[in-house]
């Protein structure tokens, strides 16, 4: 079937399988920034924004996004670079497999009302698991990233 | 392989017509669980664009649309203001924001999941469900009637009642499924004690409610003991029945203490 | 030092965050066939028949393979040196399946959907056999997992398949029984550790294709490219020279990728079809069909003088290697070898036991590699001894622990699979680690417990740990430095960066030795065709062993630069120096940029290229003192970690940030093992924890305040004073947390993990008695 949607701000029409997940469709079309991790909406490495909200693309049917807007890490290169630099400055970028999903959650978090205090960061990013870093260095990096923004 | 089809109706009526035309079609709410099941889907009817993603004050109380997501329940001020925010508390730590942005009220109730936090919370508040065909009925009755695969759950109504309520659950990691969950609610002359993830679905416990209504010294602890004694518990990968029974006593007493204080 | 000791950013971090193609699946050929395995629903069965006709007839199916189609060559899938110390007890596919998830058959098709459909129509008849599900009953069980005549050990490891024994080991120093009998204080305890899953967020994934020469190219998420190549060559019955293995970025390993996973199946598909193929594990396959940490039973006896001086330690272990003996002996030995030397003043020490087969998913390498099992048992038992003697557990450690200038006979006796290598400890800052850790946690105020509100109590616990730095006399690594025009270098290393940052720190070491800035060193790593050899990223070897190889290559390069520079300047090389920017002689100087460019284009042209290789001769242990405060909910048994303090002696940290994150990440995996992670099986051998909803790793909010400090230390044998840091972090949490829970509640849980259920039920039992 065909779907037409806004992918990273550009109207896009794809031929997809009716039961395919958004994750599968994105990767099949070369958007490799979105990763496969758990297959069960549990880890956050496949996070993309659907109409501005972070969702696990492994649990979203690709057909659902017809007529909607999808943003992936490929659509936010400047933010991704800034987050990546902040992570690297703390040594928090270990294998980096979780990083694009983390970037997308941060992009969404910045749109949320209220100041991003420590609790909010921890709860907003709770769905972004990381097996390498132990989180502490990520938290240091994220605080610096948020603090250092204009 | 049968030809697969995916529909995104723009209204409940359109969805209902599609279900009528395609026996065996599967409704997609959040979709988080639909794919997890091993069954092969030939026809999917996705309610994403059907206009059910609302939380609003209605004539009879607070209305939660079937496609209202957990994230909406968690952040919406009406839901947070209702019954001490117990519905918000029940869902706010499940997995992560991403998952809560897709999982829905309708999918959770229709799935009748034993582990469900939301079901436990809603049962404690005398919630009613609205079904497209079968009409309105108390949530408790919905769970005792056989599910009609052709019907659509359109929403939940939380009657305007002055509940004081509290939530307790225990999880292994912060964002895990509950080993056990409980919601306790009281108002003038009424008490509700619901325990879920036993691992069976949330159920009310009459003796515990009676203990709360009787009041007096140690009412909360009595309610906890009554719930532990009366309810059935089972084993699963998260815990044993024996532990759940112990836990039930503690969590119900703690929730009860909070609402009585 | 200029480049070493600096927290430089990891060289690949930004590109990874931007989602640039870097991981195996990102790089696999677009047209690759999708390879999927049919997996056993039974823990133990013989395949009576497999009807592949319907699958083969499906359009889009390129091939279907069963055990009848594969070479009958026994291999191990453990990524270890040659010959492997693990039994060769596996075939690419076999007539028997030995755990739920074991491979029955494999299909390759043009799409994932076709492959899935083809799996659905494979008709298999199983002869279901009686499984061995309890590892304490495995020895002598009526069912024998490996009766096949081809299964063998490469050298004596105690392999006795007819008794379901994969390996056995015994050692002793002194007469333990006699010393125990004479001792006034004896503590005897039994502890159990569970299977733990690595849960690297990138699943196992590999891709294969034939290049224009017809050679088999493999890109795979592995920690050991050379071992993969060698074992593939054996299994596929082809020359090593016809295979190239390349590891791109990998999404976490932790030992889980020190095993062969899809490579054999994928490689076979490519050989049979001539087409590119790829195999991406689903998370469920990662859980059911890859490896776990070996569960163990540890029986410990400690004998001591009443003043706390230890007289004897006896550690008898039983390890469960599941269906295959991957890393069976070596993990087992490390449980003793990397714990017992900590307490080197005993009169007698004994260690032994066996590793048995069961019909569970196979055991394998996992960060800590036995040391965490041994550490939990030994450090718990020491806490129990301290309690019995009414001694502060810190004092008990101080009385007995190893110190600089000392040794332990165990270093010489126990290696990994073989004898060890004697060594004297030249760097051991345990006293400093302990003092600083006590200060950071507030030990003197908090030990042993304090109330924390109604139904809540807090307690503190501690433990020490050691690990190694590479496997002495076995681990070898090599590095090549190549000078480019306009003054940059390529550093070609076999070392395998798992996300640990080793590419970065090895570049720092090269830069330090050359005296240049790190950013002119361009790293290319882990490619069996294009980089020199390295045994792989395991056993905490990369900084210490590969780091030395890099240092040697860089020192040679520096000498050559000086020689060539002096030649161009027309001066005596003895009189010339290279300061990182230019070669300077008495009469003038030439910049690196000019020198390198002239060397390639205009004068006395030649390629400067130096190689260093290093064999690990000793394995200096890094050390840690760890402390934690926990809060226990007496109504639910839930243990909340409040504070974790780890003070580490890893020698000179090449990159302090990356070293610290290694420890932090290791701690959190150890915390997961201590509290929540638990591979569980049903009564009939099915895996119950087969997704991330049932198997719970710590999430962000589960992790308390963690304080990691590195003490000043310098290991004379290490590159620029470095030891290792990759594994030590994981070792302490199980013991530290169990000890803290005991101090808080008086309840001692001797089997991991410390779930709320176990703690509460134990509390209830003590309340009753
Ligand atoms: C990783 C993960 C972790 C989870 N953890 C928890 C937890 O800790 N606690 C907890 O309480 N829950 C948890 N859940 C469950 C979750 O909260 C939802 O209950 C579940 O995902 C179902 O919601 P859904 O909207 O995704 O439903 P779907 O998957 O879309 O649907 C579920 C079922 O309901 C039917 N259906 C959906 N909508 C309707 C409708 N409007 N009318 C009629 N039928 C309908 C579908 O056909 C399907 O049979 C978890 C889920 C996941 C994936
Ligand atoms: S792969 Fe989607 S959340 Fe893990
Ligand atoms: S850096 Fe590896 S999972 Fe986060």
Cβ separation C636–B251 shorter than 8 A: yes
Q: Is A80 in the same domain as A70?
A: no
A102 & A62 share domain: no
Residues C111 and C243 in one domain: yes
C498, C571: one domain: yes
Label the pairing between strands C205-210 and B61-65.
unpaired
CATH, residue C645:
3.30.365.10
Domain that residue A29 falls in: 2-74
**Which residues, other chains included, contact C185 with Cβ-Cβ below 8 Å and sequence gap of 6+?**
C303, C304, C305, C306, C385, C388, C389
Residue B239 and residue C753 in contact, taking contact as beta carbons nearer than 8 Å: no
pTM of this prediction? 0.97
Instruction: State how many domains chain C has.
Output: 3
Ligand 3 centroid from CA C15, angstroms: 14
The last residue of a domain, from among A74, A91, A126:
A74
Is A120 a member of any domain? yes
- For residue C305, is it within any domain? yes
Residues of chain C with pLDDT under 50: none
Same domain for A97 and A57? no
Residues C609 and C665 in one domain: no
Residue C391 lies in a domain: yes
* Residue B43 near residue B24 (C-beta atoms within 8 A): yes
Q: Which residues contact C458 (CB under 8 A, 6 or more apart)?
A: C446, C449, C450, C451, C452, C629, C630, C631, C632, C642, C744
Pair A100, A140 in one domain: yes
**CB contacts, 8 Å: C666 with chain A:** 134
Q: Search chain B and give the residue with CA nearest A20.
A: B35
Q: Is C239 exposed, middle or buried (0-12, 13-18, 19+ CB in 10 A)?
A: exposed
Q: Are strands C489-493 and C521-525 parallel, antiparallel or unpaired?
A: parallel
What is the predicted pLDDT for the residue at C178?
98
Question: Same structural domain for residues A85 and A123?
Answer: yes
Indicate whether A66 and A8 sit together in one domain. yes
Comparing CB atoms, the residue among B174, B238, B250 nearest residue C699 is: B174
Residue nearest to atom 4 of ligand 3 (CA): A130
**pLDDT at B35 (0 to 100):** 66
Q: Identify whether residues C39 and C93 lie together within a single domain.
A: yes
Q: Do you know the residue count of chain B? A: 261
Which residue among B174, B237, B240 sits closest to C701, beta carbon to beta carbon? B174
Q: C538: domain range?
A: 476-615
Sign of the dihedral defined by the CA atoms of residues C176, C177, C183, C185, in that order: positive
* C330 Cβ contact partners less than 8 Å away, ≥ 6 residues apart: C80, C85, C86, C369, C370, C416, C417
Residues A13 and A68 in one domain: yes
Report which ligand 1 atom has the smallest distance to the Cα of B52.
41
Of ligand 2's listed atoms, the one at least distance from the Cα of B99 is 3
Give the pLDDT band (50/70/90) at residue B2. low
Residues A80 and A108 in one domain: yes
pLDDT (mean) for B236-243 = 97
Are C354 and C489 contained in the same domain?
no
Of A48, A74, A100, which closes a domain? A74
DSSP state letters, C77-126: -B---SS-SS-B-B-SS-SEE-STT-EEEEEEESSHHHHHHHHHT-EEEE
Which CATH architecture group holds B55-159?
Answer: 2-Layer Sandwich (3.30)
Percent of chain A with pLDDT over 70: 99
Class of domain B164-260: alpha beta
Ligand 1 pocket mutation pick from B24, B29, B51 by most atoms within 8 angstroms of CB: B29
User: Half-sphere exposure of B7 toward its Cβ, with a 13 Å CA cutoff?
Assistant: 20
Same domain for A92 and A67: no
Instruction: Read off the pLDDT of residues B185-195 as tens digits, 9 standing for 90 and up.
Output: 999 999 999 99
Assess whether C396 and C502 both reside in one domain.
Answer: no
- Whole-number pLDDT of residue A150: 41
Per-residue pLDDT tens digits for A14-40: 999 888 899 999 999 999 999 999 999
Per-residue pLDDT band for B1 (boundaries 50, 70, 90) equals: very low
Indicate if the pLDDT at residue B37 is higher than 60: no
Same domain, C670 and C714: yes
Residue A86 pLDDT greater than 50, yes or no:
yes
Residue A114: pLDDT above 90? Answer: no
**Domain spans of chain B, in order of start:** 2-46, 55-159, 164-260
Q: How far is it, in rounded angstroms, from Cα B155 to Cα B137?
A: 11
The answer to whether position C694 is within a domain reads yes
Task: Determine, yes or no, domain membership for C186.
Answer: no
Residue nearest to atom 3 of ligand 3 (CA): A130
Q: What is the mean pLDDT of chain B?
A: 95
What CATH number has the domain bearing residue C46?
3.90.1170.50
CATH number at residue A28: 3.10.20.30
- Measured CA to CA, the distance from residue C34 to residue C56 in angstroms comes to 15
E-state strands within C467-559: 476-483, 489-493, 521-525
Closest approach of chain B CAs to the CA of A47, in angstroms?
A: 7
d(CA C82, CA C367): 21
User: Is a pLDDT exceeding 90 seen at residue B45?
Assistant: yes
Query: In chain A, what residues touch B101 (CB-CB under 8 Å)?
Result: 50, 53-55
Give the Å distance between the CA of B4 and the centre of ligand 1.
Answer: 22
Asked if the structure places residue C164 within a domain, the reply is: no
Which pLDDT does position C285 carry in this prediction? 97
pLDDT tens for each residue of C468-524: 998 888 889 999 999 999 999 999 999 999 988 999 999 999 999 999 999 999 999
Q: Which ligand is nearest to the CA of B71?
A: 1
Taking a C-beta distance cutoff of 8 angstroms, is the pair C514, C556 a contact?
no
Q: What's phi and psi for C478, nearest 5 deg?
A: -140, 155
C293/chain A closest Cα distance in angstroms: 16
DSSP C546: I
pLDDT given for residue C416 in this prediction: 80
SS3 of residue B74 by DSSP:
helix
Residue C251 Cα to ligand 3 middle (Å): 7
The total of structural domains in chain A comes to 2
DSSP symbols for C30-54 = TTPEEEEEEE-SSSSEEEEEEE-HH
What pLDDT sits at residue A149? 58
Same domain for C569 and C666, yes or no, is no
Same domain, C285 and C341: no
Whether residues A100 and A123 fall in one domain = yes
Q: Are C643 and C736 in contact (CB under 8 A)?
A: no
Query: Alpha-carbon distance A25 to A34, whole Å?
Result: 10
Give the burial class of A117: count Cβ atoms within 10 A of its Cβ; 0-12 exposed, 13-18 middle, 19 or more buried.
exposed
pLDDT band with cut points at 50, 70 and 90 for residue B36: very low
Please give the Cα distance from C366 to C471 (Å, whole number): 16
Is residue A31 assigned to a domain? Answer: yes
Q: Which atom of ligand 1 is nearest to the CA of B26?
A: 47
Is residue C583 included in any domain, yes or no? yes
Domain boundary among A34, A57, A74: A74
* In a shared domain, residues C365 and C410: yes
**Residue A123: closest CA among B75, B53, B223, C146:** B75
Residue with tokens 């044998």: C717
Is C184 part of any domain? Answer: no
**Does a structural domain hold residue A150?**
no
Taking CB atoms and a 6 Å cutoff, what residues make up the pocket around ligand 3?
A 94-98, 130-133; C 201, 252, 499
Residue with the two structure tokens 């769970």: B143
- In a domain, residue C460? The reply is no
User: Domain end: C583, C615, C647, which one?
Assistant: C615
Instruction: Determine the CATH number of domain B2-46.
Output: 3.30.43
CATH label of the domain that carries residue A135: 1.10.150.120
Residue A132 placed within a domain: yes
> What's the rounded Cα separation, in Å, for the pair B158 and B153?
15
- Whether residue A126 lies within 8 A of chain B, CB to CB, comes out as yes
Neighbouring residues of B21: CB distance < 8 A, sequence distance ≥ 6: none
Q: From edge to edge, which strands make up the β-sheet containing C456-466?
A: C449-451, C456-466, C623-633, C639-649, C705-710
């Amino acid at each position: 079937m065909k779907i037409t949607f806004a992918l990273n701000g550009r109207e896009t029409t794809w031929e997809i399988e009716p039961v395919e997940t958004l994750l599968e469709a994105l990767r099949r079309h070369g958007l490799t920034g979105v990763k496969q991790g758990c297959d069960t909406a549990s880890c956050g490495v496949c996070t993309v924004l659907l109409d501005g909200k972070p969702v696990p693309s492994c649990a979203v049917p690709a057909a659902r996004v017809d007529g909607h807007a999808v943003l992936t890490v490929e659509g936010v290169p400047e933010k991704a670079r800034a987050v990546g630099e902040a992570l690297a400055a703390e040594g928090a970028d270990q294998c980096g497999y979780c990083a694009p999903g983390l970037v997308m959650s941060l992009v969404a978090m910045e749109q949320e009302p209220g100041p991003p205090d420590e609790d909010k960061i921890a709860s907003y990013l709770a769905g972004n698991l990381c097996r390498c870093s132990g989180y502490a260095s990520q938290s240091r990096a994220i605080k610096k990233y948020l603090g250092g923004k204009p | 392989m049968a030809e697969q089809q995916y529909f995104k109706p723009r209204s409940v009526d359109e969805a209902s017509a599609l279900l009528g035309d395609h026996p065996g079609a599967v409704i997609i709410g959040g979709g988080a669980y639909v794919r997890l099941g091993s069954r092969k889907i030939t026809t999917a009817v996705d309610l994403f664009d059907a206009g059910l993603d609302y939380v609003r004050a209605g004539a009879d109380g607070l209305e939660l649309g079937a496609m209202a997501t957990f994230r909406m329940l968690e952040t919406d001020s009406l839901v947070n203001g209702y019954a001490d925010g117990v519905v918000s508390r029940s869902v706010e730590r499940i997995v992560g924001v991403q998952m809560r942005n897709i999982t829905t009220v309708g999918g959770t109730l229709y799935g009748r999941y034993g582990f469900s936090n939301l079901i436990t919370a809603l049962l404690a508040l005398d919630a009613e469900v609205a079904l497209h065909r079968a009409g309105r009925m108390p949530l408790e009755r919905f769970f005792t009637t056989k599910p009609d695969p052709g019907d659509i759950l359109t929403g939940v109504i939380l009657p305007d009642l002055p509940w004081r309520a509290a939530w307790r659950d225990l999880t292994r990691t912060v964002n895990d499924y509950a080993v056990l969950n409980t919601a306790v609610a009281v108002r003038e002359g009424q008490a509700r004690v619901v325990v879920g993830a036993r691992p069976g679905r949330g159920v009310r416990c009459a003796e515990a409610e009676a203990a709360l209504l009787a009041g007096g010294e140690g009412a909360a602890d009595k309610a906890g003991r009554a719930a532990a004694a009366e309810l059935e518990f089972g084993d699963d990968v998260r815990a044993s029945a024996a532990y759940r029974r112990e836990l039930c006593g503690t969590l119900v007493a703690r929730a009860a203490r909070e609402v009585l204080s | 030092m200029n480049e070493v000791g600096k927290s430089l950013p990891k060289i690949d971090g930004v590109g990874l965050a931007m989602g640039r193609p870097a991981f195996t699946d990102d790089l696999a050929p677009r047209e690759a066939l999708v390879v999927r395995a049919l997996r056993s629903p039974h823990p133990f069965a013989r395949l009576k028949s497999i009807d592949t006709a319907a699958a083969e007839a499906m359009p889009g199916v390129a091939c279907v393979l069963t055990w009848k189609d594969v070479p009958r060559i026994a291999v191990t899938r453990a990524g270890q040196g040659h010959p492997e110390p693990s039994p060769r007890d596996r075939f690419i596919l076999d007539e028997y399946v030995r755990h739920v998830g074991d491979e029955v058959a494999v299909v390759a098709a043009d799409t994932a959907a076709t492959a899935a459909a083809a799996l659905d129509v494979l008709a298999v008849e199983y002869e279901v056999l009686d499984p061995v599900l309890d590892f304490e009953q495995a020895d002598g069980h009526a069912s024998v997992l490996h009766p096949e005549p081809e299964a063998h050990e490469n050298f004596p490891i105690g392999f006795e398949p007819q008794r379901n024994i994969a390996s056995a080991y015994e050692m002793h120093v002194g007469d333990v029984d006699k010393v125990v009998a004479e001792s006034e204080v004896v503590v005897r305890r039994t502890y159990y550790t569970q299977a733990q899953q690595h849960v690297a967020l990138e699943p196992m994934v590999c891709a294969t294709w034939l290049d224009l020469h017809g050679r088999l190219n493999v890109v795979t998420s592995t920690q050991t490219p050379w071992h993969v190549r060698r074992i593939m060559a054996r299994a596929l019955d082809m020359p090593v020279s016809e295979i190239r293995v390349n590891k791109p970025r990998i999404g976490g390993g932790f030992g889980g990728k020190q095993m062969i996973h899809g490579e054999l199946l994928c490689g076979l598909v490519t050989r049979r079809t001539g087409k590119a193929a790829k195999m991406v594990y689903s998370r469920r396959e990662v859980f059911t069909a890859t490896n776990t940490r070996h569960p163990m039973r540890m029986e410990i006896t400690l004998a001591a003088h009443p003043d706390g001086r230890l007289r004897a330690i006896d550690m008898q272990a039983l390890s469960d290697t599941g269906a295959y003996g991957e890393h069976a002996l070596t993990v087992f030995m490390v449980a003793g070898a990397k714990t017992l030397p900590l307490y080197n003043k005993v009169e007698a020490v004994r260690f032994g036991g066996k590793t048995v087969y069961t019909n569970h998913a196979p055991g394998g390498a996992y960060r800590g590699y036995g040391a965490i099992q041994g550490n939990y048992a030994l450090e718990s038992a020491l806490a129990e001894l301290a309690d019995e003697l009414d001694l502060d557990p810190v004092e008990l450690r101080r009385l007995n622990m190893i110190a600089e200038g000392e040794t332990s006979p165990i270093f010489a006796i126990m290696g990994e699979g073989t004898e060890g290598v004697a060594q004297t400890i030249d760097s051991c800052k345990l006293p400093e680690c302990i003092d600083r850790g006590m200060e950071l946690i507030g030990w003197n105020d908090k030990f042993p417990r304090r109330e924390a509100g109604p139904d809540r109590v807090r307690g503190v616990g501690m433990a020490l740990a050691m690990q190694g730095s590479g496997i002495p006399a076995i681990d070898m690594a090599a590095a090549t430095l190549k000078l480019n025009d306009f003054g940059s270098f390529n550093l070609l290393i076999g070392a395998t960066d798992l996300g640990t940052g080793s590419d970065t720190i090895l570049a720092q070491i090269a830069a330090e030795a050359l005296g240049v800035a790190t950013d002119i060193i361009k790293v290319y790593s882990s490619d069996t065709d294009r980089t020199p050899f390295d045994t792989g990223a395991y056993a905490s070897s990369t900084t210490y062993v590969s780091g030395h190889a890099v240092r040697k290559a860089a020192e040679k390069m520096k000498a050559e630069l000086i020689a060539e520079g002096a030649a161009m300047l027309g001066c005596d090389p003895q009189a010339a120096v290279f300061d990182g920017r230019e070669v300077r002689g008495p009469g003038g100087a030439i910049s690196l940029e000019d020198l390198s460019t002239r060397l390639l284009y205009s004068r006395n042209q030649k390629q400067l290229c130096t190689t260093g290789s290093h064999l690990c001769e000793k394995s200096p242990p890094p050390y840690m003192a760890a402390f934690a405060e926990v809060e226990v909910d007496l109504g639910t048994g839930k243990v909340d970690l409040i504070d974790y303090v780890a003070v580490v002696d890893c020698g000179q940290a090449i990159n302090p940030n990356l070293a610290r994150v290694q420890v932090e990440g290791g701690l959190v995996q150890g915390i997961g093992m201590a509290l929540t992670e638990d591979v569980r099986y049903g009564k009939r051998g099915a895996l119950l924890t087969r997704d991330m909803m049932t198997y719970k790793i710590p999430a962000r909010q589960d992790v308390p305040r963690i304080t990691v400090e590195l003490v000043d230390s310098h290991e004379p044998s290490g590159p620029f004073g470095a030891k290792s840091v990759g594994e030590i972090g994981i070792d302490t949490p199980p013991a530290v947390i169990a000890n803290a829970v005991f101090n808080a509640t008086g309840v001692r849980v001797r089997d991991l993990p410390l779930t709320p259920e176990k703690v509460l039920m134990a509390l209830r039992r003590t309340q009753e008695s």
